[in-house]
Amino acid sequence: MVHVGVDLDKRSSQIAVLSEDGEIVQHRLANDAARLEKFFADLPPHTPIAIEASGTWWWLVDLLEELGHQPVLSNPKQTKAIAAARLKNDRVDAERLALLLRGDLLPRVWIPPTALREARELIRHRIQLVWLRGVLRNRLQAMLARRNLQPTSGQSWLTQRGQRELQRLPLGETPSRIREDYAALLPTLDAQIRRLDADLVTRWGADPRVRRLTTIPGIGPFIAIVLVLELGDIERFASAKRVASYVGLTPRVRGSAGRVRAGHITKEGNRLLRWVLVLAATQAVRRPGPLRAWFHAVKKRRGKKVARVALARRLAEIVFHVWKQECDYFTVVRHGVVRG
């Protein structure tokens, strides 16, 4: 069987074709869809093709799947650890991918279906807009604070009364122009975020997985939708610990001479999932129940920050069992699969 490695960049692709007898032939092609389609169409059907996961792999994977091939995404960090080379260039990288693929040594990354990738992009766009809105609000308040201006109608300039007071506030030419720009930008962002929220709830709010996940303390509709879209297929995780590891909430473990030491969490994996689970943990401790009691018990021993991260990991494990068993949170707790 022929195996192929592709080192993909923004403008061109370095392609290493490994024949059945071990001969490698290198090709460098511009990222022209028609030209690449012709090249890959000449390969045998169902050829496994390794691509290093990067920010530009979507279109190539879609093209290869349409042609009936088997694209395989490699984990860049783990691939480098397995096959580090003194000489590094595009030809070497493409050859390395093909050789690791043939030896079944390539660390693989799950390829989400096209529809799921599009949904993920939409929810990440929504999160970026919220982040941008926060940046603009902070800059507006910083501009006012530099002039020692504080609202007299309330605690914040961002309330409705604070906004009305801000519009009446006498300011110089430069801060007035900045105020006008923010007054135009912030309502636009608010409207876009509301529209995206409504669209996400319409498309995913009635999903049974989302409904079951919202029974978990601290997890509302938005976080549940993020979990469903970012985890994708729960069957690819063998256990609850694998989910926690995928999110980067498991500790680094170092062992030597019979001694095992657990360090800080790895912070590897999906950062968005880690963020929403820590956010869910922050919300969960405000609701009476076993999760809150467990959090305070850990807080007494290890401190607030460690307890919050530990609760986020526990929530990740609960998410796995609720999703896998197709039941609600209370059923999982009654069965004693996870505590609290």
**Which residues, including other chains, have CB under 8 Å from residue 34's CB and lie 6 or more apart?**
none
Q: Is 89 helix (H, G, I), strand (E, B) or coil?
A: coil
Asked whether the predicted pLDDT for residue 192 surpasses 80, the reply is yes
Do 334 and 228 contact (CB within 8 A), yes or no? no
Looking at residue 305, its pLDDT comes to 92
pLDDT digits (tens, 9 = 90+) for 55-107: 889 999 999 999 999 999 998 877 775 556 556 788 988 999 999 999 998 98
Q: What is the mean pLDDT of the chain?
A: 90
Which pairs count as long-range contacts for 160-168, CB under 8 Å and 24+ apart, including other chains?
A: none
- Residue 43 three-state SS: coil
Residue at 236: amino acid letter: R
Q: Whole-structure pTM over 0.95, yes or no?
A: no
**Higher per-residue confidence, 77 vs 202:** 202
Contact yes or no for 228/204 (Cβ under 8 A)? yes
Residue with tokens 């012709």: 38
**pLDDT tens column, 8-41:** 988 999 999 999 999 999 999 999 999 999 999 9
Q: Looking at residues 151-157, what average pLDDT do you find?
A: 87
Distance CA 339, CA 334 (A): 9
Q: Which of 199, 209, 249, 247 is nearest to 229 (CA)?
A: 209
User: What's the angle, vertex CA 167, arms to CA 161 and CA 171, rounded to 5?
Assistant: 130
CA distances for 113 relative to 29, 117, 205, 229, 300, angstroms: 26, 6, 20, 11, 44
* Cα gap 39→168, rounded to integer Å: 65
Please state the φ and ψ torsions of residue 261, each to the nearest 5 degrees.
-125, 130
The residue with greater pLDDT, 218 or 270, is 218
Question: What pLDDT score does 191 carry?
Answer: 96
253 pLDDT higher than 70: no
The residue type at 7: D
